[in-house]
Structure 1
Amino acid sequence: MSTTTFEDLKATVRAWIEADPDPQTRAELQSLLDAPDPARTDLADRFAGSLEFGTAGLRGVIGGGPNRMNRAVVLRTTWALGKYLLTQFPDAQERGVVVAFDGRTMSREFAEDVASVLAAQQIPAHVFPDVVPTPLAAFAVKHLGAVAGVMITASHNPPEYNGYKLYWRTGSQIVPPVDVDIAALITQAPPAREVAGVPRAEAAARALFHLLDASIERAYLDAVRALELHPGGKRDLRIVYTPLHGVGDRLVRMALDEARFTRVTSVPEQREPDGRFPTVAFPNPEEKGSMDLAYALARREKADLVFANDPDADRLAVAIPDPAAPGGYLQFTGNQVGVLLGHYLLTERPPAAGEKRMVLASLVSSPMLGAIALALGVHYEETLTGFKWIAHRAMQLENSEGYTFIFGYEEALGYTIRDIVRDKDGISAVVLISEIAAVLAERGRTLKDELELLARKYGLYASGQVNVTRKGAKGAEEIRSWMRRLRENPPTEVGSLKVISVVDIEAGTRRLVADGKTETIALPPSDVIVLELSGRARIIVRPSGTEPKIKCYIDVREPITEGEPFTAAERRAQATLDSLAESFRAILGI
C-alpha cells in the first residue's frame, strides 16, 4: 500500500472515529491508527466497504469501522429502517416494531439503540425485557400485528460475530426488494453521532417503548402444544439437552414439560447464555466437538434422546443411542431429521376434506422429502437456500392456490411446522421429534429404524458436503473466482459420473450438456450453480450467506434390493459421495 493511499485511509478512519458515538470502538480504531505498519491490513479490511444489508439483514465481526458490526452501523441501519417503514405502512406509528436480542456480546446494547432510534421517528418499540430465542421474536411480530421485527443475533456464527435480523409484518424474514430499498436508504443516513435517539425512560413516558410481558411466551407455547398429533407414546424417555451457551434452555424445557416429557437434563456447563461460548470452539451443533459435553452427560444419564440448539435456538441437532457410533450416540443429519418430521406430519394425520397440502425444502436439501410427497399426492417445491424463501413461497401458495402449509426444512438443521413461526424453529422441532420418538418406542421402533424403513420404500438418499472457509476480502475474492470458473468452464464429468446439465440460478438457465440447449428456470436469481449428474446425483455450489465460506452440496440416491442388508447400501452410497467429493475438490483446485 502506498503512503498516499494509506494517508487517505487514515483520513477516512479519523472521520469515522469523529462520528462514532461508542467510546469503545473509537478507542479501538485509534489504537490501530497509532500501531505499527501491520495494523494497516486490519484497518484496510475494516474500511474496505460496508457490511452488506441483505435478506439476512446484517451480520459481521464486532468491532469499529463500516465493515464491522457496531453501534454506529446499528444506528444508521435503524434510521434507514424507520424511514422505510414510514413510507410502507401508514399505521407504522401505531403498530410498532418488535425488538429482541440474544445473549451475544453487545446484543442488549444494539437492541437498546434500535428502540431509541425508532422512538425518535415516533415508531413504538415492543421490546423483550431479556434474552429470547429467535423463533419467539418471529412469532411475536405476527402475534402482535407489528409492522416489522428486529432480532439482534448472529445465530450459530463464531463468538466474535453479531447481527441484525429483520422480519417483515408477516413474521418472516425480508426478501427483495425490501433489502435493496433499505440498503439504499442506509447510504443516505447521517453520521452515527447525528442519528436522533430517545432515551428509554423518555420513550416509555411517550408510549414509544413497551416492555413485552409473559403473554407472548404463553401464546407461543400454546401454539406449540397444539401441534401434537398423538397424545400417547412412551413419554418417559430420558432427554439430554444443550443450548450451547445460548438462550433456548428455559423455553425448551417448558415446552417439553407441557408435552409431558419430564425427564430432561440440561448440560450444566452450557445451560446459561454466555456470548464467549467458553466450552465450544464454534457454537454450531453441526460442528465436530460442539456436542461432546452433551454426549458425555447422555452416557452418564443413559439418555434416549440428545438435543442441541444453536445459540438463538432456531436450529436443532438430534442424536440417539447407537453402540456402533463413535461415543455411543448417532447424530442425525438435518436431511434425516427433516425427512422424519415431514413424513410423520404427512402420514400420522389424514388431510381435512378438500385440503391441499404442501411441503417445501431448500434447494440444497435432500430430494427425499419430494419423493415422499409425490407418493402421497402432496405438493412439493424446492426454494432458494434460506428460510426466508421457504416462508415466502409458502405464503404465496397459501394465498394464490389455497394450499395448507404443513412443513418446511433446510439441511442446515432448520425446520418449521405449519405457520406458527415463519422461520426456523428449533423449539417446536424438539417437541415434535420427542413425540415421534415416543410414538415409535411404543411401536417397538427407533428413529433409526424409521429411517431405514423409509429408505427401503423410497430409496436411500445420501448427502455430503465440501465446505471451504476463506476469511477477509482476499478470501471473498477467491470464493468469487471459484464461482466464475464454474460458470465459464463447468466440468463435463465429476468422478465417474457425467454432467447432464448445468443450472445457473443467477442467470435463470439450465443448459443441457449433450446438445447445448438452454431452458429457463423459475427461481429468483441467486449465486448458485447446480451440476445435475447421471444416476440422479447432483452437486450444488454456492457462497454462504452468513459465513465466509463456499459450500458444495452433494446428493446421491442408492436403490436397495429386496433382502439386501441396509449397511451394504449405506456403504455404496458413502463410497459414491466420497468419490464425488474428492473429484470436485480437485476440480476447484482445493
Structure 2
Amino acid sequence: MSSGFDLTNEAFAEYCRWLRVKTMDPKTRREIQSMITDSEMIDQRFSSRLAFGTAGLRAPEGAGTNRMNPYTVAAAARGFARWIKANGGADKGIMISYDSRHSSREFAEMTARMAADEGVQVYLSDTLRPVPMLSYGIVKYGAAGGVMITASHNPPEYNGFKAYGADGAQLMPEEAAQVSACIEGLGDIFQIIARSLSLRQLLHNEMIVYVGEELDDSYEQLLMDRLNSSLVHEEAKRDLRIVYTPLNGAGNVPVRRVLESMGFHSVMVVPDQELPDGDFPTLRVPNPEREDTFQLAIEMAERENADIVIATDPDADRLGIALPDDSGEYRVLTGNQIGTLLMEFILGGRAIQGRLKGDEFSVVSVVSTKMPEFICRRYGVELTETLTGSRYTAEAIRQGRSEGKRFVMGFEEGNGYMLDTGILDKDGVAAAAVIAEMSAMSRASGRRLYDQLDSIYSLYSYPAEKRFSVQLKGPDITGTMEAVMNSLRKERPDLGDEIEITRVRDYLPETNMLYYHLGGAEGNDWLAIRPSGTEPKLKVYMGMYGEKEEAEQKLADVYQRVKERIAAVLDSL
C-alpha cells in the first residue's frame, strides 16, 4: 500500500471526482473511501475505462471506471439506448434479462431505468432467465435489441453487460463501435442518473413492463416444436436417468421444464448447485468446460447410476456433459466431442426421416474439430467456418438464409451450440434437450452414448486434438503477445521432417490469429495460435486425424515443438 499521490495523475483526479459525488450510493461510497490511502488501488481502478466491445462489458465488480458497478453499467445502458434511438428503435424497445451473479438484478434494473428514461420502451424479465431466452425474447416482442447482464462462466467476482441487435444476435464490431461512440458522448453519468426518473415512475408510466410466464411458455413451445424427435420412443425418454446441474445459475428452471415436457421424468438435480448463488460456493469457476466442475454431479451420478450428467453455465448459453464408459467411470467430454455427437445425431436423424433436401448448411468455428467436415460431406450438407464467437456464427446463419439455404446446427469448441430454433445465440437449454434425446436413443439400442464416439471415429477418422495456453507475465502483456505473434509471422514453427506446413492463414486485421494447414489426412491436420482476448495468455489449438496411434503421436510431436518455439521466443524478449 502506498500513499504517495501525484496530484496531476489522471487516475487520482478521476478518483477525486468520484469521491465528491453527493448522490453516490452508500456501497460504492464506502468502497471508494476505503482506498483513500492506497494509491496503487486507485491507479488500478481509475487509470482506464471499460471499453465497450462486441461482447459489451465484462470485468470484476467494484468501484472505479474500469470495474462493473451501477455507474459504468448506467453509462453503457444510456449509450446503448441512444444507439437504439438513432436507429429508429425507441418504440420497438429492448429486452433485458440477467443471471445469478452478484448485482445482476441491480444492474438489469439500472439498465432498464436508463433506457426507459432515454425514451426507449423496455421489456424487463421479472426474474433471472438465461441468454437463449433473452435472445428469443427480443424477436418474440419485436424489440430493436436487448441486454443480458452476465459474465458467462467467468469467476464469481466478475459481471458483464452483453448487447444484442434486433434479430437476437450479439452486436457485430461496427455496431459495437457505434454504441461505444454514443457512450463517449454522454457527459457526466452521475448527473444523468440524478436527473432520471426512478424505476417505480417508469414502471408506472409503462415505459418498463415486466415479462415472465408468457415468455416461458412460448420458449418451451418453440423447443418442443423444433427439437422433439419422433425417432425417440417415450419409454426410452422416461427411463433415462439424468443428473443435471445448473451450476447455481439461470438454467435450472428452463432446462428442467423443457426436459419434463419432452418426457424425461427422471431428472435429478445436484442439491448444492441447484439454486441461484453468485458465490458459486462449490466451484472454482462455474465453467462446464472444466473437469473439476463436474465433481459433485459425478458423485451423484455414481450413486444414482445415471445415464448422463448435464451441466449448464450461469447464463446457460454453454453446456457440458459427462458419460459413463464401459467400466462405469464417468468421462467429461470436450466441446468438440459433444459437437461431433450432436452433428452426427441431427444430420443422421434428418437423413433417416428424408428431411435432407440438399440446401442445408452447418457452421463451425475455425478452431473447432474438423470432424464436421467428414460428417457434412457424408450427408451432403454445406459447412461454413467462422471466427470464434456466436456473433460470427449468427452472421454466417444470416448469410446462408439470405441465399435460400436452411441452417441445421453450429458449434464452437468452447461448449457453445446453436440449433435450428431461430435463436441466434448459443443455447444450452436446447442443447440439453437434444443431448437427452440422443442419450435415450442410444440407451434404447443397448449402447452407451460414450461408445457412439468410437463408432463415429471408425466411420470417419480418429481425431487427436488438443488445446493449451501459455501464461504470460510481465508489465507489458500486450507487447509480449505481439512479439510472439510477430516472430511466428516472420518464421514458421519447425514441426519436424515428417510434418509439413502446407499453407498459412493470417487472420489480421479481423483477429490476431495464425492458422497453419499441415500435411495429413486429406489435408485436415491443423494448428492455430492466437492471443487470448480476456486473459494474459497465448492460446494454441491443434488437430491431427487418421489412425489413432499415428494421429496421437503426431499430436504429441507438434505439441512439444510448438511449446518449445513459444518458450524460445519468450526467453529472447
TM over 0.5: yes
Structure 1 distance, partners of 2:497, 2:273, is 43
Match of 1:588 among 558, 566, 572: 566
Equivalence for 1:309: 312
Cα-to-partner distance string for 1:523-573 (whole Å, 9 max, x where unaligned)? xx11211122222421112233444433211111123xxxxxxxxx2x543
Distance of 2:464 and 2:564 partners within structure 1: 21
How far apart are 1:489 and its partner, in Å? 3.6
Cα offsets for 1:431-477 (capped at 9, x unmatched): 11111111122222222222212211211123211123458974444
- 2:499 matched residue in structure 1: 497
Cα deviations by residue, 1:22-62 (Å, 9 ceiling, x for unpaired): 43233323322313xxx51x332323422221111111111
In structure 2, distance between residues paired with 1:506 and 1:94: 39
| Equivalence map 1:27-176=2 (5 Å) | 27-35=30-38, 39-40=39-40, 42-89=41-88, 92-176=89-173
Q: What's the CA shift for 1:483?
A: 2.7
- Count matched residues: 554
Aligned-pair CA distance for 1:213? 2.4
| Residue 186 of structure 2 corresponds to residue 185 of structure 1 | no
Q: Structure 1: how far apart are the matches of 2:33 and 2:307?
A: 54
Decide whether aligned partners of structure 1 residues 416 and 212 sit closer, same or farther in structure 2, where only a CA change above 3 A counts: same
Cα distance change, pair 551–422 in 1 and its aligned pair in 2 (3 A): same
Describe the SS at the equivalent of 2:15: helix
Q: 2:26 — aligned with what? A: 23
**Distance change in 2, residues 1:428/1:189 (3 Å):** same
* C-alpha distance in 2 between matches for 1:445 and 1:60: 45
What is the CA–CA distance in structure 2 between the aligned matches of 1:392 and 1:124, rounded to whole Å?
26
Pairing partner for 1:442 from 424, 433, 444: 444
| Structure 1 pair 8–334 and aligned structure 2 pair: CA distance change class (3 A) | closer
Letter of the 1:173 partner, please give it: Q
CA distance in 2, matches of 1:51, 1:485: 30
Alpha-carbon distance in 1 for matches of 2:475, 2:118 = 36
2:362 is equivalent to residue 377 of structure 1: no
- Secondary structure of 1:551's aligned partner: strand
Q: State the one-letter code of the partner of 1:331.
A: V
**Does structure 2 conserve the Cα–Cα contact (< 8 Å) formed by 1:494 and 1:584?**
no
Say whether 1:530 aligns with 2:515: yes
SS of the equivalent of 1:34 reads coil
In the alignment, the residues of structure 1 paired with residue 501 and residue 240 of structure 2 have an alpha-carbon distance, to the nearest angstrom, of 47
Among candidates 411, 422, 428, match of residue 409 of structure 1? 411
Letter matched to residue 582 of structure 1: Q
Change (3 A) 1:489 1:5: farther
Aligned pairs for 1:165-564 within 5 A: 165-196=162-193, 197-226=196-225, 227-229=227-229, 230-232=231-233, 234-235=236-237, 236-322=239-325, 324=327, 328-350=329-351, 352=355, 354=357, 356-399=359-402, 401-470=403-472, 474-493=476-495, 497-507=499-509, 525-535=510-520, 536-559=524-547
Q: Which amino acid aligns with 2:264?
A: F
| SS of alignment partner, residue 173 of structure 2 | coil
Structure 1 residue ranges without an equivalent (≥5): 508-524, 560-568
- Give, in angstroms, the shift of residue 494 of structure 1: 6.2
* Distance in 1 between residues matched to 2:279 and 2:145, nearest whole Å: 29
- SS of residue paired to 1:95: coil
Residue equivalent to 1:565? none
Give the distance between the partners of 2:451 and 2:9, measured in 1 at CA: 66
Secondary structure of the residue aligned to 1:293 is helix
CA contact 1:172–1:422 (8 Å) conserved in 2: yes
Q: What is the CA deviation profile of residues 79-133 of structure 1, one whole-angstrom value per residue up to 9, with x for unaligned ones?
A: 11111111112xx232110011111011111111101111111111100111111
Q: Residue 244 of structure 1: CA displacement?
A: 1.1
Structure 2 residue matching 1:195: 3-state secondary structure? helix
- Distance in 2 (CA, whole Å) between partners of 1:370 and 1:588 is 30
Distance 1:264 1:134 in 2: 22
1:291 alignment partner, SS class: helix
The two structures have a TM-score, normalised by structure 1, of 0.89
Q: Gapped runs of 5+ residues in structure 2?
A: none
Q: Distance in 2 between matches of 1:177 and 1:12?
A: 29
What amino acid sits opposite 2:138 in the alignment?
V
> What is the distance in 2 between the residues matched to 1:70 and 1:286?
28
Distance 1:439 1:108, change over 3 A: same
2:81 and 2:311 mapped to 1: Cα distance?
A: 36
Shift of residue 206 of structure 1? 1.3
CA contact (8 A) 2:324 2:448 kept: no
CA distance in 1, matches of 2:356, 2:320: 35
SS of equivalent residue, structure 2 residue 452: helix
Aligned partners of 2:105, 2:473: CA distance in 1, in Å? 27
Contact in 2 for aligned 1:462/1:556 (Cα 8 Å)? yes
Q: Is the 8 A contact 2:75 2:183 kept in 1?
A: yes
Q: CA RMSD in A?
A: 2.2
Instruction: Give the whole-Å Cα distance in 1 for the aligned partners of 2:473 and 2:274.
Output: 30
167-176 vs 280-289, greater mean Cα deviation: 280-289
Q: CA deviation at 1:6?
A: 7.0
Q: Deviations over 1:350-387 (max 9, x none)?
A: 45585510100011111111221122211111001001
CA contact (8 A) 2:12 2:43 kept: no
Q: Aligned letter for 2:411? A: Y
Q: 1:502 to 1:341 in 2, by over 3 A?
A: same
What is the TM-score when the length of structure 2 is the normalising length?
A: 0.92
CA contact (8 A) 2:361 2:405 kept: yes
Deviation at 1:15, TM superposition (A): 2.0
Measured in 2, the distance between the counterparts of 1:451 and 1:82 equals 47
CA contact (8 A) 1:355 1:404 kept: no
Are residues 474 and 426 of structure 1, via their aligned partners in 2, closer, same or farther at CA, if it must alter by over 3 Å?
same
Deviation for aligned residue 1:5 = 7.6
| CA shift for structure 1 position 68 | 1.4
